[in-house]
Amino acid sequence: MMNHSIKILGGLILFGLSIGCKPPSKPGSFRTTHGGGGGSKATSSPGSTSSGDETVATNPGKAVIGGADLNLTRDTLSKIMQPPGGEQDTACSGKSLSSKNQLRLLTQNEYQNTVKDILGIMSDYRTNLPSDGIVFGFSNNADSGTVNDDHASAYLEVSLAIAAEVKSKLPTLVNCDESTGLVCAQKVIDTLAPQLWRRPIEDSEKTALLDVYKIGLASSPKDGITMLLSNLLIAPDFLYRMEIGKNKALNAYELASALSYFFWGTSPDATLQSLAASGDILKDATLLAQATRLLADARSKFTTAEFARGWIETNAILDDEKNVVAFPLFTDSIKNSMAAEAKNTFDYITKQPTSTFETLFTADYTLGPAALATYYKGQSVTEGAVTKIKFADTPRRGILGLGSILAHNSSPAETHPIMRGNFVLEKLFCHISPSTPKGLNPEIPAASSTLTTRERFAVHTSNEACAGCHIPIDGIGFGMEDFDGAGLYREMDNGKKVDTSGEVVGIDNLTTKFNGVGELSNYISKSSAAKRCFVVEWYRFAHGYAERPADICAIRDIANKFEKGSMTLPQLLINIVTHPSYAKRE
């Protein structure tokens, strides 16, 4: 009976764990834990909801990192962030620009995209999969991609559900149906297995897969196909993006997969498969041409959306609730528009051929609907296929002026200078703030009719025990007080003129004064530290792990070129995936 077959599958994860490479268990740096299956939510990643064909994360959460690893990252970052030239580049001279082999578990989005593109699956299984682990905001970190028994059970259940859905599609997919027995099983193995595993299938693997089919066939042809399809989907070769490589480099199929999942979040298309089979993808010119092709395709919105979701937390606003008395205009519709605005604006600016890092922080527009323009008191302008919100009359500039960032990094009823300052330091300057010492937690004075938010929060910078950490944090946050807790421009707070004077302390080895979000954005657009940090963030996302000492020279090589030259944003993305570190391995 089929129940017996399922017990075999569930007890052994029959084929996946017997002929494939076992899922890794990687203790060490920046590890988070997945949530359980069936839509349960991890502590560090509260989960996601779906909206159409896209995942909308409810809140990416914060990285769970230990003290020793945190210190290692601080030290690594300090060497990466040093300006070009000097002792660090001397130390890197002649060193191999490579990275480490990884086993990268497919994220919920990648899994869904893959089965949809290969098998024609229309049902959304993401909420039934284990939650993605979150490290430094990103869901694709290899160190969080461990699979325990609960996760394996969830993957098994999803694989069986997909198998049931796919069986009716077999005539279209492989020109057979389950009633044709071994003939159909062989077609599934020959046609679908290489696509799902993203590489050619060895003869021994074909034999093992056929044996799996025969176990189910003992009950019925239907059960045989179910077991075969299920085992294709629970094999580590499907669940993980393997980096076994050859001669200290990714092989052609692994490189094709790396490109496809970076830009599109799915398995390689026919063009990449063909170039992998011929080996041409390993040629520099071919790699460059394919990276350019994938970025130009509309499907590359996957990479900008996923990167922005992790970097500037574009969807975190969706979980926020505001005090309706303080912010009566902040509705669910506005929240949804802000999240879409952030994603679409980042994608649009990143894809423009002439966009630079400066554009990202100085643009006087975002992409959003007319209703959001009315909320901001901006001007709605249609230019071709896009609707822009222009901000000529306010200092709202670039991504730092996004409502989602300003509102999310605020309290329910007011702004929060500490949250905003921390956001800028950690996300835009790669500065990891220390934890508050035990026993030290000065209370912010309660709201009053006489004090502004800035005056109340100044308790930190006036307290000698807090000042060391809070001067750089609050110095940035205080200067962002010209936008309220719901992301709207303001000139008054509690009946007083807003004091927007701020300072960036210790970044670029300077203390820089500024007034308001507009001037802060302009400073960031020219900051060497901010440009280097931007490269670090993209490297984390592209490589699937937080930077390690062995990555210092590779990241510096990319960052030096980005900081010193006139590299556009599209060129940066191309440079990251064509850099030697993307394919070479130690």
Q: Is the pLDDT of residue 512 over 70?
A: yes
Q: Are 506 and 468 in contact (CB under 8 A)?
A: no
Q: Are 518 and 481 in contact (CB under 8 A)?
A: no
The pLDDT value recorded for residue 443 is 73
561 belongs to a structural domain? no
**When comparing pLDDT for 533 and 434, which is higher?**
533
Instruction: Specify which residues 296 forms β-bridges with.
Output: none
70 belongs to a structural domain? no
Q: Is the pLDDT of residue 468 over 80?
A: no
Q: Is the pLDDT of residue 57 over 50?
A: no
The percent helix, strand, coil of the chain (3-state, each to 5) is: 55, 10, 35
d(CA 235, CA 212): 12
27 belongs to a structural domain? no
71 belongs to a structural domain? no
Domain total of the chain: 1
- pLDDT, tens digit (0-9, with 9 covering 90-100), for 436-445: 777 777 677 7
Q: Residue 54 gets which letter from DSSP?
A: E
Four-point Cα dihedral 279, 280, 281, 286, nearest 10: 170
Provide, rounded to the nearest whole percent, the portion of the chain with pLDDT above 70.
88
The pLDDT value recorded for residue 437 is 73
Task: Provide the terminal-to-terminal Cα distance of the chain, rounded to the nearest Å.
Answer: 49
Question: Which of 85-94, 462-471, 476-485, 502-511 has the lowest average pLDDT?
Answer: 462-471
pLDDT, mean of residues 8-15 = 40
pLDDT, mean of residues 339-358 = 98
The pLDDT value recorded for residue 123 is 97
d(CA 373, CA 390): 8
The pLDDT value recorded for residue 244 is 87
Q: Which domain holds residue 499?
A: 311-526
39 belongs to a structural domain? no
337 belongs to a structural domain? yes
pLDDT, mean of residues 222-243 = 96
200 belongs to a structural domain? no
Which tokens is 98 given? 């490579």
The pLDDT value recorded for residue 377 is 96
d(CA 194, CA 144): 26
- pLDDT, tens digit (0-9, with 9 covering 90-100), for 366-405: 999 999 999 999 999 999 999 999 998 889 999 999 999 9
- pLDDT, tens digit (0-9, with 9 covering 90-100), for 551-572: 999 999 999 999 987 899 999 9
* Full-model pTM: 0.89
Nearest to 57 by CA among 115, 107, 122: 107
- pLDDT, tens digit (0-9, with 9 covering 90-100), for 258-302: 999 999 999 999 999 999 999 999 999 999 999 999 999 999 999
Q: Is the pLDDT of residue 579 over 70?
A: yes
Q: Is the pLDDT of residue 148 over 80?
A: yes
534 belongs to a structural domain? no
Provide, rounded to the nearest whole percent, the portion of the chain with pLDDT above 90.
76
Query: Scanning the structure block, which residue is given the tokens 């990891």?
Result: 432
Tell me which amino acid residue 558 is. I
